[in-house]
Chains A and B, each alone.
Chain A
Amino acid sequence: MANSMARSFLQVAATEEVASPLRVVQIEGLVILKIIKHCKEFSPALVTGQLLGLDVGSVLEVTNCFPFPIREEDEEIEADGANYQLEMMRCLREVNVDNNTVGWYQSTILGSYQTVELIETFMNYQENIRRCVCIIYDPSRSNQGVLALKALKLSDSFMELYRANNFTGEKLREKNLSWVDIFEEIPIKVSNSALISAFMTELESDTPVKQCDYDRLQLSTKPYMERNVEFLIECMDDLSMEQQKFQFYYRSLSRQQAQQQAWLQKRRTENMARKAAGEEPLPEEDPSNPIFKPIPEPSRLESFLVTNQIANYCNQINGVAGQNFNRLYLMKSLHDN
């Protein structure tokens, strides 16, 4: 056993050079339960925690996790948070638990996680750990009867762009990066020990339908939908704002171009005159002139994120609406029975 483990570690060491892409995140059932417990208890406040585990080839194993205390908007406490993290890791190492950080988890409300902060945090982690992942759990969605768990990472091309901090239209076109390409979702695999699996099989009852299944048929999804639409409206506002920024940029750009043209025209006629007078022509470019100062193009990042967000909300609404229809048909057939 130890031998095989050692070999596997060796393998890991060997593959590291190749750096195979991350294919699956394998999470222990216990970790998931811990995450759910933590997030649900504090909902609707948003919480975060650390993921610990191993990086094995194309599989990222998450074997343990611990929660962070709720952060306050205060420097000192933030420093405390860092201390807490280090302390916790030390303690875990002492009891011989995996203490290799592989990412973090966080709770969210209605999937509104696509923010600049998330990207920043991710970039921070990325600097220290080559392979990291963010697990996002949505307690409100889980109330609908689905396990709303997602493993995310930033796409490589996006990270490259982000490092260069260059989100102009041209660059984006060059990289062929659209809003869908910011985040990559990685499939999650839940692994349990053989004993637990066996126990679960034991627990499974024989009858196909039970009372709790009927409970799931409740149709009160209205508040959920409402909030989704509300968020969607907010997103629309944000998007319009981004658009306005862009329009403003475009307007000032065209004005500047007109100015430049006028200047150039003037300079050309001047040069003609000078040539006629037998003097040296003036250069046709004058970098010191303020009208040649390029206007910074607004970053597209924000609008990309907002678009992502919108897509997310739409998916959720779609999903819930679909489910509701199913439920309605089910109810109808049940009543018919």
Chain B
Amino acid sequence: MASKFWTQGGSDTEEEETDIEDEIENGGAGETTAAAAGSRYLQTNASDSDDSDGQKRVVRSAKDKRFEEMASTVDQMKNAMKINDWVSLQESFDKINKQLEKVMRVTESDRVPNLYIKCLVMLEDFLAEALANKEAKKKMSSSNHKALNAMKQKLKKNNKQYEELINKYRENPESEEEKFEDEDEDEDEDESGSELEDPSQIAAESSDEDDEGEDVDDDDADGAWEKKLSKKEKLMDREFKKDPSEITWDTVNKKFKEVVAARGRKGTGKFEQVEQLTFLTKVAKTPAQKLEILFSVISAQFDVNPGLSGHMPINVWKKCVQNMLVILDILVQYPNIVVDDMVEPDENETQKGADYDGTIRVWGNLVAFLERIDNEFFKSLQCIDPHTREYVERLRDEPLFLVLAQNVQEYLERIGDLKSAAKVALRRVELVYYKPQEVYDAMRQLAVLSEDGEKDGDETKVEETRGTSAFVVTPELVSRKLTFPENSRALMDILVTLIYKSGDERTKARAMLCDIYHHALFDEFSIARDLLLMSHLQDTIQHMDVSTQILFNRAMAQVGLCAFRVGLIAEGHGCLSELYSGGRVKELLAQGVSQSRYHEKTPEQERLERRRQMPYHMHINLELLEAVHLICAMLLEVPNMAANSLDAKRKVISKTFRRLLEVSERQPFTGPPENVRDHVMAATRALCKGDFQKAFDVINSLDVWKLLRNRESVLEMLKAKIKEEALRTYLFTYCSSYDTLGLDQLTKMFDLSDAQIHSIVSKMLVNEELHASWDQPTRCIIFHDVEYSRLQALAFQLTEKLSILAESNERAVEARFGGGGLDLPLRRRDNQEYAAGTSGGGGGRWPDLSYNQGRQGSSGRAAYTGGGRPLALGQASRDRSSQSRGTGGYSGRAGSGMRGYQMDASARMVSLSRGVRG
């Protein structure tokens, strides 16, 4: 037992272990050549009896390993005590403290292991004894004496932290011992060989603890947890067990204050506190008190969360939700209880019983708790690897939260706190808005399915909480069921209407964005666009917080996708081009961190950015987005390039696309397309030659299309568009080579009907893009040779430059005198002007919107007739109006308008990036 090996090896091991954690096994094996080639585990179980037990070599978890290390250290300490060797005792003590840290880390709890406490008690006692024994002290060697004194200091300091636990242990060591006796059948002979009195008793116990610890650890951490819990309950019970009638409100209140006061203090276990408070809820005397304690329980549960970036443990989260539901139960049952966080409630407010008539004020904030719970849910989804089962499991918890949110909202509406209700509604909206109908249906089904299972679980749980000694029984008044409308749109409408009515500015903006996103998801482009324009979010979004800006970007992306699906290429491009102009799509949509080569982000920024990330299931598919963006750009840019082949610089619709094209043209050899970009570039090359079939085939071969719901119709539309643009490109490119061109030949070449070709060509003629005329009898296009003189061309260029200059001058002046946002007044004025043009139905914004919708059908391709310019959302309506009025000077205005928009966009992106960085 008193093996020499340990007293010698002690110091070596210590060094090794502190330095090289990972190599513990190697180090251990290397250093102990003496200890036969046995495994580390055999060694650490230093007691001979264990060896004789013939323990097999087992692979153990890190947790077990740590516990064993600790146990072995305790053994060492015992040995040192026996020979009164304070030097090695001191070393061992340092070691055990280090090991404690490791254990805590591994078990991820802040519960100090019993083993450690036991060891501390043992040391304390031994120390007291040693100090008492003056004679022995005198006999000690000087080094030993010094160590003794040092140990005295250290232990005193150290034990202060664990005072409470130690006292608890001292109070009822026997109960523990009994338990150990029961558990450990194979009591070993150590006990008999003990010659020390009290400490040795404990020491012996703790040596048993080795085996015991193993057993416990083999089960689970939860097992240990349960045991401890029962112990605690015993403790608590002892205080309250006397007689239910003896427990008064005062005792409960006192205990409650005591527990709450311990919050955040060093050495207060967070789990422990939750448990204690949970126990208190059971013995609470009045509903108000129970409510108060429940609020504290939830706060304590939030405290369990280890850090800002980590998320709350899932089981705690679920308990938290349950607690919230209980709170609601109470609130519903006793409508005279008011929850408020504004006023400091009277000390004895909660004393008023259930039969009290007046209002009882209890401190708390339901909305804040709800938001916190939602945030924790969001964070957990951010942290969990989306490709694991765990993630899916976690997603299944969503209905749980939705139920809670629904109930909280109902409650708040009932008590008339609409502002808070709007906040809660927003949380619900944010969980629903990104779900297509399919996903929504699946969620509903899940909610229905889990209901049965949930019910069982619920009942047992309720039984459990109620079974013991709940003084205030709260029946489940609030439904635990989700009541969903059939259609997600219907749900959105209800929630959004509420928010618009009573939400604050930010809530409304966010709800609006979610609404837009949802509409876009359901292919309702015109509604989504109108909402976007009506809300003027484009103007104000720069001043909002980053997460709202991200939401805005997401909504824009979705609107762009939607425009593409319904065949509005120009609009789609308008929405998407700004996202792609900076090359930081991932960052803008918060779907990943983009690495910039030019400036390193500080860890701080990176952490911030990581915290903003969208969970995986909310992502917009980036490949699809890129494909749509590039295809839109291609359809607009290719004919544009063909039309302005002479000076390519002049009108650039999509800079991104141009750049990509240049890169791909520089390649000496073009291989078969691999990614989205390659595909679009290959299609572009074909389209430039007017080969629509090849272009379509290449694009069709992209596999992102399977992500579209109505894939067939979209591809059909795409094919029609490609044909059309191919025709236009062909005409632009080769018009100079023809004198006349037959309609029949064109129909054959482009597989389009006579009428279609006629309309396309006529449109080009009207817009003076093509200098030609129809010869009806012979069904031919006759080309005229009209070329601008150089001077004319230059003059055009000059006017364009001038208009830019004038525009930016105007903006500068507005900025100086306008006060608000840079471009806000400009936009407004346009709107008014426009409203006036539409027979001024009151000059408000609604009439012009309805007008807009009315025109939608008749000028379906109004943007297209606008010379293939990218009419961004804001300008689309404007151009249409000016065209329908047939005013002159159209091109100039459209051009400037477009540019203005792009500038806005760039400004916005800048601001966002500022937000990202700053």
Contacts and interface: CB of A to CB of B under 8 A. Distances in A.
B801 A237 contact: yes
Nearest to A230: B794
Interface in A314-334: none
Contacts of B812: 243, 246-247, 250
A86 interface: no
A237 B800 CA distance: 11
A236 B801 contact: yes
Interface string A232-273: 110011011001101100100000000000000000000000
A239 to B, nearest CB: 6
Nearest to A246: B812
Contacts of A230: 794
B473 interface: no
B809 interface: yes
Interface in A43-58: none
Interface stretch (A23-31, A180-188, A212-220, A221-229): A221-229
Interface in B815-860: 815-816
A247 B798 contact: no
A222 B795 CA distance: 13
A148 to B, nearest CB: 21
Contacts of B794: 226, 229-230, 233
Nearest to A229: B794
Contact of B808 (A225, A226, A229, A243): A243
A243 B805 contact: yes
B809 A222 contact: no
B795 A229 contact: yes
Contact of B801 (A222, A225, A233, A244): A233
Contacts of B790: 222, 226
A182 to B, nearest CB: 21
Interface string B787-820: 0011100110110011011001101100110000
Contact of B797 (A225, A233, A244, A250): A233
B798 A232 contact: yes
Nearest to B907: A251
Given A226-B790, A250-B815, A236 B798 contact: yes
Nearest to B790: A226
B160 to A, nearest CB: 33
Nearest to A222: B791
B804 A233 contact: no
Contacts of A236: 798, 801-802, 804-805
A250 B804 CA distance: 19
A225 B798 contact: no
Contacts of A226: 790-791, 794
A313 to B, nearest CB: 10
A236 B807 CA distance: 13
Contacts of B801: 233, 236-237, 240
A247 B808 contact: yes
Contacts of A237: 801
Given A222-B791, A225-B791, A233 B798 contact: yes
Interface residues of A, number: 16
Nearest to B804: A240
The dominant DSSP class at the A interface is: helix
Given A226-B790, A229-B791, A250-B812, A240 B805 contact: yes
Interface in B740-794: 789-791, 794
A229 B793 CA distance: 10
A229 B798 contact: yes
Contact of A240 (B808, B815, B816): B808
Contact of B805 (A222, A239, A250): A239
Contacts of A243: 805, 808-809, 812
A239 B816 CA distance: 19
B804 to A, nearest CB: 6
Interface string A194-227: 0000000000000000000000000000100110
Interface string B480-519: 0000000000000000000000000000000000000000
Contacts of B805: 236, 239-240, 243
Nearest to A236: B801
A224 to B, nearest CB: 10
Nearest to A247: B812
A246 B798 CA distance: 22
Nearest to A243: B808
Nearest to B795: A229
Nearest to B914: A255
Contacts of B802: 236
Contacts of B808: 240, 243-244, 247
Contacts of B795: 229
B25 to A, nearest CB: 53
B787 to A, nearest CB: 14
Contacts of B811: 247
A225 B801 CA distance: 18
Interface string A27-40: 00000000000000
A236 B806 CA distance: 11
A150 to B, nearest CB: 25
B5 to A, nearest CB: 64
Interface in B558-614: none
Nearest to B910: A251
A250 B790 CA distance: 38
Contacts of A246: 812
Contacts of B804: 236, 240
Contacts of A250: 812, 815-816
A226 B805 CA distance: 21
Nearest to B809: A243
A247 B794 CA distance: 27
A229 B808 CA distance: 21
A244 B808 CA distance: 8
A222 B793 CA distance: 13
Contacts of A233: 794, 797-798, 801
From B794, B795, B804, residue with most partner A Cβ within 10 Å: B794
Nearest to B812: A247
A198 B720 CA distance: 84
A233 B795 CA distance: 9
Contacts of A244: 808
A226 B789 CA distance: 10
Nearest to A250: B815
Nearest to B797: A233
Interface in A285-316: none
Contacts of B798: 229, 232-233, 236
A222 B804 CA distance: 26
A320 to B, nearest CB: 12
Interface string B137-175: 000000000000000000000000000000000000000
B914 to A, nearest CB: 9
A10 B123 CA distance: 115
Contacts of B815: 247, 250
Nearest to B808: A243
A247 B808 CA distance: 9
B52 to A, nearest CB: 71
A236 B798 CA distance: 8
Nearest to A244: B808
B916 to A, nearest CB: 16
A246 B794 CA distance: 27
Interface string B417-454: 00000000000000000000000000000000000000
25 contacts: A222-B790, A225-B791, A226-B790, A226-B791, A226-B794, A229-B791, A229-B795, A229-B798, A230-B794, A232-B798, A233-B794, A233-B798, A236-B801, A236-B802, A236-B805, A239-B805, A240-B801, A240-B804, A240-B805, A240-B808, A243-B805, A244-B808, A247-B812, A247-B815, A250-B815
Given A226-B790, A233-B798, A243-B809, 10 more contacts: A222-B789, A222-B791, A229-B791, A233-B794, A237-B801, A240-B805, A243-B808, A243-B812, A244-B808, A250-B812
Interface of B: 789-791, 794-795, 797-798, 801-802, 804-805, 808-809, 811-812, 815-816
Q: Across chains A and B, which 6 residue pairs bring their CB atoms closest together, nearest first?
A: A236-B801, A229-B794, A226-B791, A233-B798, A226-B790, A243-B808
